[in-house]
Structure 1
Amino acid sequence: MKYKRVLIVLLVVLNNSFLYSKQDSVSLDMNSSYDSLRDLEDKLFSNNDFDSIRNVLNVHLKKAKSENNLEELSWAYYYFMFFEEDEKAIIYADSAITISEKEINYLLPGTAYYMKGLIYYENGKIDSSLSNLIKSYDLSKITKNYEQTVDCLNGIASIKVSYGEEKQALKLHKEALIYLANNNKSIRSADYTRLVTMENLAKGYLEIGYLDSARTTTKDAIILAEKINEKELLNSLSIFRAQINYYDNKFLVARDTLQKYVETMPEMSKADIYYYLGNIEEKLQNQTGKLAYFKKIDSIIGSELKSLDNVKDIYQTLLSDAINQNDKERELEYLKKLIHYDSIQFNRYKNVRNIGKSQFDLPKLQNLKSELEVKINREKLLKKWLILLLAAFLVLISLLIYRNRIIEIRLKSVLSKRIVPKISNNIIRNDLDLDEHIYYNITTGLEQWEEKKGFLDKEMTLQKLSKILDTNSTYLSRIVNVTKEQNFSSYLKDLRITYAINFLKENPEFIGTKSNIVLAEYFGFNSLDVFTRALKEKIGLTPYMFLKGIKSRNL
Structure 2
Amino acid sequence: MKQIFLLLFTFFCSLFFTQSKIDSLRLLNYEELKNKFNVYDESNKKLEAKAISQYYLSKAKKEKNILETAEGYNLIHLTEDFPLALKYVDSMAMITKNVKGDIYPARTFIIKGNLYYKYDNLKAALDNYILGLEYSKRQKNVKQIAYANMNIAYLNSYMGNNKEAAKTFRYYLLNSQNITDEYQHDQMRVSLAYCYIKINKIDSARFFIQEGLNSPFVKKNKYNMNQYLYLSGQLNLKTKNYQTAIAELTKAYNYFSSINDNNQNFVLYSLGKCYEELHNKQETIKYFTQIDAHVKETEVTFPELGDVYTVLIDYYRESGDKEKQLYYIDRFLKVDKKLDDQFRYLSTELHKKYDTPNLLQEKEDIINELKNKKTFLYASVSILILILLMFIYFYFKTKKAEKRHRKIAQDLIHLIEKRNLETIENKNDQQIEAEEPVKAESESKTIKTVPEDVAQSILKDLDTFENKRHFLKNGITLTSLAKNIKTNTAYLSEIINTHKDKNFTTYLNDLRIDYVLDQLVKDKKFRSYKLPVIAEEIGYNNVQAFSIAFKKRTGTTPSIYIKEIEKSISG
Normalised TM-score (structure 1): 0.52
Q: CA RMSD in A?
A: 5.0
Distance in 1 between residues matched to 2:302 and 2:162, nearest whole Å: 19
- Structure 1's unaligned 5+ residue stretches are 1-19, 355-429, 431-435, 441-501, 546-555
Shift of 1:171: 1.6
Cα shift at 1:176: 0.9
In 1: Cα distance, 2:219 partner to 2:227 partner: 15
Q: Do the aligned partners of 2:123 and 2:345 also contact (CA within 8 Å) in 1?
A: no
**Separation in 2, partners of 1:215, 1:36:** 42
Shift in alpha-carbon separation, 1:36–1:303, aligned structure 2, 3 A: closer
Structure 2 stretches lacking a partner, 5+ long: 1-16, 41-47, 349-393, 395-399, 405-427, 468-571
Alignment partner, residue 462 of structure 2: 540
Please name the residue that 1:197 is paired with: 188
Q: What is the identity, as a one-letter code, of the residue corresponding to 2:152?
A: I
Change (3 A) 1:535 1:326: closer
Shift of 1:343: 2.8
Structure 1 residue aligned with 2:210: 219
Q: 1:154 to 1:325 in 2, by over 3 A?
A: same
Aligned equivalents of 2:68, 2:181: Cα separation in 1: 28
Amino acid at match of 2:120: G
Deviation by residue 1:339-383 (Cα, 9 ceiling, x = unmatched): 3312321332333438xxxxxxxxxxxxxxxxxxxxxxxxxxxxx
Q: Deviation at 1:327?
A: 3.0
- Could you say what secondary structure the match of 2:345 adopts? coil
Q: Which residue of 1 is the match for residue 13 of structure 2?
A: none
3-state DSSP of counterpart to 1:124:
coil
* Aligned partners of 1:239 and 1:257 also within 8 Å: yes
CA pair 232-118 structure 1, distance change in 2 beyond 3 A: same
The equivalent of 1:22 in structure 2 is 19
Alignment correspondent of 1:126: 122
Is the aligned partner of 1:165 residue 2:161? yes
Match of 2:83, as an amino acid?
Answer: E
- Counterparts in 2 of 1:132 and 1:529: CA distance versus 1, 3 Å: closer
Question: 2:35, 2:18 → 1: CA distance?
Answer: 9
Shift of 1:106: 3.0
- Counterpart secondary structure, 1:289: helix
Q: Give the drift of 1:157.
A: 0.5
Query: Separation in 2 of the partners of 1:503 and 1:174?
Result: 59
User: How much has 1:177 moved relative to structure 2?
Assistant: 1.9
Distance 2:242 2:129 in 1: 38
Partner of 1:550: none
Give matches, 1:12-411, under 5 Å: 22-23=19-20, 45=37, 48=48, 50=50, 54=54, 57=57, 61=61, 64=64, 74=70, 77-78=73-74, 80-137=76-133, 150-180=146-176, 183=177, 186=178, 189-190=181-182, 192-224=183-215, 229-266=220-257, 267=260, 268-301=262-295, 303-353=297-347
Q: Kindly provide the CA deviation profile for residues 471-501 of structure 1, in whole angstroms up to 9, marking residues without a partner as x.
A: xxxxxxxxxxxxxxxxxxxxxxxxxxxxxxx
Q: Distance in 2 between matches of 1:223 and 1:503?
A: 69
CA contact (8 A) 2:158 2:303 kept: no
Q: Do the aligned residues in 2 keep the contact of 1:279 with 1:290 (CA within 8 Å)? A: yes
**Per-residue Cα deviation, 1:283-329 (whole angstroms, up to 9, x for no partner):** 22222332232233344445454435522322232233333334344
| C-alpha separation in 2, matches of 1:301 and 1:509 | 47
Q: Which amino acid aligns with 1:96?
A: M
Paired position in structure 1 for 2:506: none
Q: 1:161 to 1:528 in 2, by over 3 A?
A: closer
Secondary structure in structure 2 of the residue aligned to 1:194: helix
Letter in 2 for 1:189: D
Q: Does structure 2 retain, via aligned residues, the 8 Å contact 1:504–1:510?
A: no
Instruction: Say if 1:319 and 1:334, in contact at 8 Å, map to a contact too.
Output: yes
Deviation at 1:170, TM superposition (A): 1.6
- Kindly indicate whether the alpha-carbon contact (under 8 Å) linking 1:226 and 1:234 is maintained by their aligned counterparts in 2: no
Give the CA deviation at 1:96.
Answer: 3.0
Q: CA deviation at 1:540?
A: 1.3
Distance in 1, Cα, partners of 2:76 & 2:223:
28
What is the deviation of 1:166? 2.7
Q: Deviations over 1:504-554 (max 9, x none)?
A: 94448979xxx97xx3488x6467989996996798149xx9xxxxxxxxx
> How many Å apart are 1:227 and its aligned residue?
7.8
* Counterpart residue type for residue 221 of structure 1: G
Q: Retained in 1: the 8 A contact 2:119–2:300?
A: no
Check 1:225–1:38 CA distance in 2 against 1; reply closer, same or farther (3 A cut): closer
**In the alignment, is the contact (CA less than 8 A) between 1:205 and 1:214 conserved in 2?**
yes
Contact persistence 2:37–2:52 (CA under 8 A): no
Relative distance call for 1:509 and 1:237 in structure 2 (3 A) is closer
Once residues 537 and 26 of structure 1 are traced to their aligned partners in structure 2, the CA distance between those partners, rounded to angstroms, is 75
Distance in 2, Cα, partners of 1:56 & 1:165: 40
CA deviation vs aligned residue, 1:91-114 (integer Å, no higher than 9, x gap): 443443354342313335343222
- Structure 1 residues 292, 123: closer, same or farther in 2, change over 3 A? closer
Percent of residue pairs identical = 21
Residues 225 and 302 (structure 1), Cα distance of their counterparts in 2 relative to 1, 3 Å cut: farther
- Is the 1:258–1:273 contact (alpha carbons within 8 Å) kept by the matching residues of 2? yes
> Higher mean Cα deviation, 136-145 or 235-244?
136-145
TM-score under structure 2 normalisation? Answer: 0.51
Distance 1:528 1:504 in 2: 32
The answer as to whether partners of 1:211 and 1:244 remain within 8 angstroms in 2 is yes
Q: CA–CA distance in 2 between the matches of 1:99 and 1:331?
A: 52
Measured against aligned partners, the alpha-carbon deviations of 1:239-258 in whole angstroms (never above 9, x if no partner) come to 21221222233334323433
Say whether the 8 Å CA contact 1:124–1:348 is kept in structure 2: no
Sort the Cα spacing of 1:130 and 1:508 in 2 relative to 1 into closer, same or farther, 3 A. Answer: closer
1:498-537 aligned within 5 A: 505-507=431-433, 519-520=440-441, 525=445
Of Structure 1 and Structure 2, the greater helix share is in 2
What is the distance in 2 between the residues matched to 1:528 and 1:144? 54
Distance verdict in 2 for CA 1:106–1:93, change over 3 Å? farther
Shift in CA distance, 333/157, structure 1 to aligned 2, threshold 3 Å: same
Instruction: State the distance in 1 between where 2:129 and 2:115 align.
Output: 11
Amino acid across the alignment from 1:294:
F
Distance in 1, matches of 2:245 and 2:341, equals 35
2: CA distance, partners of 1:509 / 1:92: 67
Cα 1:505/1:87, change in 2 over 3 Å? same
